[in-house]
A and B are shown apart, each in its own frame.
Chain A
């Protein structure tokens, strides 16, 4: 039973790992912290995976666990934690024909998001991921009206940073 659950988790997580990578890029500013947070998200998703009901989409559920980890559980420590040979992993550089200008603009967007507070980061991230307000308010635990009001403010802040 445990083995089956583990296999399902690995398959689901591998397919959706970009959710965690994006959150790591938003909430951290260097490679070590990115790896730390990614590791913690992986642990937390696995720890609560048995509670995941198949009636919801795995990705929807993973947004919540990953954001919870980034906002509430992860505490940047000055002392590096020892993670399991993560440095030994050979990062696979994907050959991509991704537009250079778009890559530059994406980098600018991440830099601008780094200047927002943790809650605004989550709001903008969910907006960029096209999440409906109902899901945003459920993920954050605030009312739908508050989510809309706050989203507008966060967007204004981001716009100001992007076009000073």
Chain B
């Protein structure tokens, strides 16, 4: 008899667990709060949507608007904001649709694919926000140099450009690191298992 067949025989005589729950206890457990990673992805995703879109409440918008007016950027800001919110709405809809599709009754691989897809929507949303931030930084820097061109020396223009690039890169790096850390920790196990199953399917 094969070694595993022996263990299988023992497994077939598996005793009932000593911690068997009554139906009242199962009822309480079933109605308690879930701590699944899907729930966390949903909560973190929502926080990201809210935080990134509520930044205007922390910035003095009237001062920013008068500055844009002075630089002749008011039309650009107006139209880019409209496009920005249309894209944000699209991301929100996709995020919600993907989240609703997640079902534990799917096969293990399908479930993992759907979880990763939902997370990718949030990742793309963050990437979109960061790109928009970079675009605004570049446009504002160029406009402010243009506005004050006559008063600035070449050296000053160079310094302003370098400072803007450094600040932009620093902000991007910090945000990216935070983001990678957040989802890296949350999805470490899932990513490992997903890769194992994907490797399995790609094997000939």
Q: Report A's interface with B, CB cutoff 8 A.
A: 6, 9-11, 13-14, 17-18, 21-22, 25, 34, 36, 38-40, 42-48, 51-52, 61, 64-65, 67-69, 71-77, 81, 83-86, 89, 91-94, 96, 98-99, 102-103, 105-106, 109, 117-119, 122, 127-130, 138-143, 146, 149-150, 155, 158-159, 162-163
Contact = CB atoms under 8 A, between A and B. Distances in A.
B200 A150 contact: yes
Given A118-B193, A146-B203, A18 B17 contact: yes
Interface residues of B, number: 54
Interface stretch (B44-52, B73-81, B104-112, B125-133): B104-112
If over half of B's interface residues share one DSSP class (helix, strand or loop), that class is named, otherwise mixed; here it is helix
B107 A138 contact: yes
Q: Please name the 3 residue pairs, one residue from A and one from B, whose CB atoms are nearest each other, closest first.
A: A141-B109, A141-B107, A21-B17
Contacts of A46: 30-31
B201 interface: yes
Interface of B: 3-4, 7-8, 10-23, 25-38, 40, 103-112, 115, 186, 189-190, 192-193, 196-197, 200-201, 203
Contacts of B189: 75-76, 118
Nearest to B30: A46
Nearest to A35: B19
Contacts, number: 188
A36 B35 contact: yes
A105 B40 CA distance: 39
A96 B15 contact: yes
Nearest to B198: A142
Given A43-B34, A65-B105, A159-B3, A105 B10 contact: yes
Contacts of B192: 117-118
Contact of A39 (B3, B32, B108): B32
Contacts of B3: 159, 162-163
